[in-house]
Amino acid sequence: MSRYLPVLLIGVILLCGNAVSAQVTTATIAGVVQDSSGAVIPGVSVTTKNVETGVTRTAKTDEGGRYTVPELTLGNYEVEAQIPGFQTEVRSGITLTVGRSALVNFALKVGQIADKVTITEEAPLVESTTSAMSSLVDERTIRDLPLNGRSWDNLALLQPGVVSVGAGQGSAAFDFGTGTRFNVNGSRAYANSFLLDGTDINDHANGTPGGSAGTNLGVDGVQEFKINTSVSPAEFGRSSGGVVSAVTRSGTNDLHGAGFEFLRNNALDSPGYFDEVEHGGTGTKAPYRRNQFGGALGGPIKKDKTFFFGTYEGLRQGNGTTIGPEVPTAQTKLGIIPYKAFQGTDPSLYNCHPGDTACTVPVSPVIKPYLDLFQTPNTRDLGDGTAFFIAAPLQVTKEDYAMGRVDHQISDKMRIFGRYSFDNDTNVIPNFNGSSLADEHDVARRQYSTIQVTNVFRPTLVNSFRFAYNRTYQNFDDVLSDPRAEKLFFLPGEHFGTISFGGQGLSTNPLNFLGVDNGAPRIYRYNLFQEGDDLTYIKGRHSIKMGADIRRIQDNEITSSNSRGDYTFLDIPGFLTNKPIRFDAPAPGSDAYRGLRETMFGTYLQDDFKVSQRLTLNLGLRYEAISNPREVNGRMANLLNLSDPAPTVLKDSFFSVAKKDFQPRVGFAWGLNGSGKTILRAGFGIFHDHILPYSYAAFASGYPPFFTTLSDLTNPVFPYDTNLTAGPPPPPQFGGFPTGAIREAS
């Protein structure tokens, strides 16, 4: 497998809007202090105060009158500048959003320091110090905009350059991610990075996070998020697409809370056009019941020192679905079938001729209990021994989300916060794909935890360390819903498998498959351990940031197929007379569990150089490397050459990954005039997509010799095939290389 090609992003744009700076969860206040004549004033004491928590930070202007206060928590601020011989000036009404670098300049007047001038005015919203492009979804947008389903990631679709896309690789399932998929400026949906409080929350599929319900609840616990669309600073890596950075809410000195419930019910809906009898409907409405409820509470534990915030949200939904499997008629179950039912079996064996509508075929006693498992049709006979069973079973979804966060100001130079979020949800799809005896159960559990410590060593030197443990568990499997099937099985220790018609797999014709999904179960336990450290240093015109990040990836998964056995019958007569044409099942002793392991390392250096009041250069370099992917128990094999007779057992890793991912970032932001309202930006960057488990996990479980699917195409015996041999491999979608002698890599 080769590495994805680097993506080159070059953008030049004239705009009035926000752009992200090099902070993931914090913001910066910077500016210049001058006197009334325009001369810069060094040595001015500049104090920033978060008006909601009372936390303050102080810096002094340098010889050029410049000051910078980095790594500030988000919220509303006031900034005070004072020095003997001049009046004290206070700027209020400054709102810091994620990644913002607010420009707050002062023009001090001669006077007594006790004289105070307060200016209530928002700092200019146009970001004037970065070449990066982004869009902010702020707190007001999150709270006030109507959000159907209350999944905060849907707000990303309102941003420029973000386009919703379809499933692409597959349906919206755990294999490929269940969240809302979108492209950012043309990048692929699985090339995006998702950060929560600065730590990685991408799941094993590398798609938009989402549980079995496909939602990201907890909108009341998200303060805001920003989508970085192009030319990200060197601090950002891992992938070539967009960077979605969300920040959770924290408590303040005021106690605030909220509660809510949203109700939708078909009893409150008007009938649809096709529900009405005169338009072919039944006169009834499809069942739909949805309740979302919860609340949030935040406030002080100790004023100006310790704060808490917590939120809970629950979802309960029942949604009517439609199924229409093709099932045998009552006559077919008795062995009376028309000539059209013969779709491969020789009709002359049963004295059946073209035009005959009631040919007699003996029904095998072995087949009878399986034949009785089909639903009774409720539509007209299709003329081939089948009819449709139309029904609208209720799909039930349940989700519970909770998040708690505590912030503590240890001293005026050190603060710490910890956050834990938990999301547990289930989605029961009744009669999966028309199955008469099984429901699909999708189960997901997501747990995200982060601790971050920020130290202000001195006003110009700030360090931030973070640790995260994020875990996602996703499992879809079919659960038998018909008690009659509980004692019917094809393999020892397994429940009912799959019976296919016409071709192997989830057939729909000549009969709908009987049993369970032959691709189940799919189980993913994805653990991410992340440690990172960022150091910010302010020196004159330079704002330098450097750091390192390590992510340890554990993807424990089962993605086997045919694990419960899959019988295939050519047509209805072949089924009635118990003449299967193939049987697919794992070889005895096959183990589909795989523990995939990788470690990603990244380090960077970024310098934002203030050439003048109107021109800032953004210069950065990032280096990333990822370890060679391996399986923790040594179950690794691959077909190294197409001419090889069998896969090769690998010793150390699945394959080797190059370690040459240097990623320069260069850009500038130039104010075209002194108003600060018109900024010209240009940027260049190299970004890499890495070979993560989602790239190869789908086939890792199916590699011989550790897992082999055998096929009996000569003399399969139903329902217990004692003649199973290593025949030709099953269709490619079920994995597996040709079986044969296995050789070991040298």
The β-bridge relationship of strands 27-35 and 106-108 is parallel
Strands 648-649 and 75-82: unpaired
In the numeric block, the tokens 């019917």 are attached to: 488
- Report how far residue 532's alpha carbon sits from residue 466's, in angstroms, rounded to the nearest whole number: 5
Q: What are phi and psi of 734, to 5 degrees?
A: -105, 10
Lookup: tokens for 571: 């047509």
Distance CA 280, CA 282 (A): 7
Q: How far apart are CA 539 and CA 96, in angstroms?
A: 23
In contact, 244 and 225? CB cutoff 8 Å: yes
How far apart CA 422 and CA 448 sit, in angstroms, is 7
**Per-residue model confidence (pLDDT) at position 124:** 61
For residue 718, give the nearest of 569, 580, 556 by alpha carbon. Answer: 580
C-alpha radius of gyration, the chain, whole number: 32
**Residue pLDDT, tens place only, 50-96:** 999 999 999 999 988 999 999 999 989 999 999 998 999 999 989 88
Question: What pLDDT, on a 0 to 100 scale, did the predictor assign at position 238?
Answer: 87
- Average pLDDT in the chain: 86
Which residue in the block uniquely carries the two structure tokens 């009744």?
A: 430
DSSP string, 44-73: -EEEEEETTT--EEEEE--TTSEEEEEEEP
The residues, any chain, with a CB within 8 Å of residue 359's CB and separated by 6 or more, are 336, 337, 338, 339, 341, 347, 350, 351, 352
132 with 20: CB under 8 angstroms? yes
> What is the rounded distance in angstroms from the CA atom of residue 360 to the CA atom of residue 372?
18
For the four alpha carbons of 213, 219, 223 and 226, in that order, the dihedral sign comes to: positive
What is the maximum span of the chain, computed from C-alpha positions, in angstroms?
A: 114
Q: What SS3 class is residue 279?
A: helix
Distance CA(45)–CA(591), nearest Å, equals: 67
Beta-strand runs (E) in 203-242: 222-230
Neighbours of 164 (CB within 10 A): 12
CB 481 within 8 A of CB 541: no
Q: Where are the alpha helices (DSSP H) in 542-613?
A: 572-576
User: Which phi and psi angles does 709 have, rounded to 5°?
Assistant: -95, 120
Question: What's the confidence (pLDDT) of residue 472?
Answer: 93
CA 290 to CA 151: how far, in whole Å? 14
Task: Give the model's pLDDT for residue 562.
Answer: 87
d(CA 258, CA 262): 13
Residue segments in the chain with a per-residue pLDDT below the cut of 70: 1-24, 121-125, 166-177, 725-746
Cα angle vertex 200, ends 593, 191, to 5°? 80
d(CA 195, CA 528): 13
d(CA 171, CA 358): 41
Q: Within its chain, how far is the Cα of 400 from the centroid? A: 17
Q: Give the model's pLDDT for residue 287.
A: 86
Handedness of CA 428, 420, 176, 591 (dihedral sign): negative
Backbone angles phi, psi at 348, to 5 degrees: -65, -20
Q: Per DSSP, what are the bridge partners of residue 554?
A: 527, 597
| Residue corresponding to tokens 């009785």 | 372
Query: How many Cβ atoms sit within 10 Å of the Cβ of residue 443?
Result: 18
What is the C-alpha to C-alpha distance for residues 530 and 14, in angstroms, rounded to an integer? 37
Q: Say how far apart CA 487 and CA 485 lie, in whole Å.
A: 6
Extents of the domains making up the chain: 22-126, 135-252+392-700, 256-320, 326-388
Predicted TM-score (pTM) of this structure: 0.85
Predicted confidence (pLDDT) per residue in 567-596, tens digit: 999 999 999 999 999 999 998 888 889 999
- Tell me the CATH number for domain 22-126: 2.60.40.1120
Exposure pattern of 290-306 as b/e (b: 16+ CB <10 Å)?
bebebebbbebeeeebb
The predicted pLDDT at position 7 comes to 31
